[in-house]
Structure 1
Amino acid sequence: MTFPLGLAATWPDLAGNADFAALLDRSLCRLMGHGLFQTLPGSRPDAAWLYAEAPFCLLAHDTQPDPIFIYGNKAVQACFEYDWEDLTQLPSRLSAEFPDRDERQRLLDTVRSQGFIADYRGVRIAKSGRRFFIENATVWEVIDEAGIRHGQAAMFASWRDLP
């Protein structure tokens, strides 16, 4: 299974792509001992469910020097106020305000060296400028069975708006 690096706009089927959902699930499972579909009772291993119905935010960016989001489920799109097309053209660094970007980069560097972080907290910014605080986020390296790195992913179910 090989996925292109670069803009997901050229691969719009990642939203419901079963192979991509399996890659996210298996890479998380190898690192943490549980995958995306075991995080909630009753959840099912279905790419369409993960994209459209999952009650948690899930997003991923690629491996470019200035990574671009290549995936964001409907919960992420609502949280960040971007539709699929806009989100998958957005450099992931723009999900944090300028003063918070150094902290975000330290997080990504730690994830790159350790494989994952299971309890991340930080401030993010929506398209409208609304600031919100995410809690208990899991951020991990998206690596396939052959050891090829495809980027990083994050999931979180908890956030609150900031004044």
Structure 2
Amino acid sequence: MSASQPGISLAYDRDFFELLAGSHLTLVGRPMALAVRDPAWLYEEAPFAVLAHDGSTDPRFIYANRTAQACFEYGWDEIVGLPSRLSAEAPARGERQALLDRVTRDGFAAGYAGVRVAKSGRRFWIEDGVVWRLLRADGSSAGQAASFLSWRDAG
């Protein structure tokens, strides 16, 4: 994919990359990863998953790098716009919402693990997760983002 393809501009957007990386550094106190260099690398090559959703009442994904897309079995055009609650099975949505509420209150949560569900219905554990608020320069919220370093089938 290239930045010129319709619907994928946010994947390569320098301002959005700065929002993701800058918010993580500010709130978590460390960079997302030492190797994060630019939006193309984060989207195409990062060995860890990164997703973001907007700040609406029923948040929808606005970003998912290729690693996240592979984990969830969705392409860009399928995952962007999808309600983020659908990334968890119905019984786990309460736990997921409690995590998001904690992030809203505290700015971030680290060390998160939980079961998620792929497009096919395959269940998988995410581990070493960090969820953080996306903060604009004026301090207002632009949604939340999450990254996780490891995952495995839940069986």
TM bracket, shorter-chain basis? over 0.9
Once residues 66 and 79 of structure 1 are traced to their aligned partners in structure 2, the CA distance between those partners, rounded to angstroms, is 22
- Equivalent residue letter for 2:64: G
**What is the TM-score of this pair, normalised by structure 1?**
0.89
SS class of match (1:160): strand
Once residues 67 and 88 of structure 1 are traced to their aligned partners in structure 2, the CA distance between those partners, rounded to angstroms, is 11
SS class of match (1:59): strand
Q: CA-to-partner distance for each residue in 1:86-129, whole Å, 9 max, x for gaps?
A: 00021000000000001100000001001000111110000000
SS class of match (1:153): strand
Instruction: Find out whether 1:147 has 2:139 as its counterpart.
Output: yes
Once residues 44 and 162 of structure 1 are traced to their aligned partners in structure 2, the CA distance between those partners, rounded to angstroms, is 29
- Equivalent residue letter for 1:111: V
Once residues 77 and 159 of structure 1 are traced to their aligned partners in structure 2, the CA distance between those partners, rounded to angstroms, is 13
Count residues with an aligned counterpart. Answer: 150
**Paired position in structure 1 for 2:48:** 56
Structure 1, unaligned runs of 5 or more: 1-9
**Paired position in structure 2 for 1:80:** 72
Q: CA-to-partner distance for each residue in 1:72-95, whole Å, 9 max, x for gaps?
A: 000000000000000002100000
- Equivalent residue letter for 2:86: L
SS class of match (1:29): helix
Does the aligned pair in 1 maintain the 2:61–2:82 contact within 8 Å?
yes
Q: CA-to-partner distance for each residue in 1:43-65, whole Å, 9 max, x for gaps?
A: 14210000000010000000110
Give the counterpart of 1:20 among 16, 20, 36. 16
Cα RMSD for the two superposed structures = 1.2
SS class of match (2:119): coil
Calculate percent identity across the aligned residue pairs: 54
Structure 2, unaligned runs of 5 or more: 1-5
By how many angstroms is 1:11 displaced? 5.6
Query: 1:115-130, aligned counterparts within 5 Å?
Result: 115-130=107-122
Give the counterpart of 2:103 among 97, 104, 111. 111
SS class of match (1:99): helix
SS class of match (1:118): strand
By how many angstroms is 1:148 displaced? 1.5
Once residues 81 and 103 of structure 2 are traced to their aligned partners in structure 1, the CA distance between those partners, rounded to angstroms, is 23
Instruction: Find out whether 1:33 has 2:29 as its counterpart.
Output: yes
Once residues 39 and 148 of structure 2 are traced to their aligned partners in structure 1, the CA distance between those partners, rounded to angstroms, is 17
SS class of match (1:128): coil
**Paired position in structure 2 for 1:4:** none
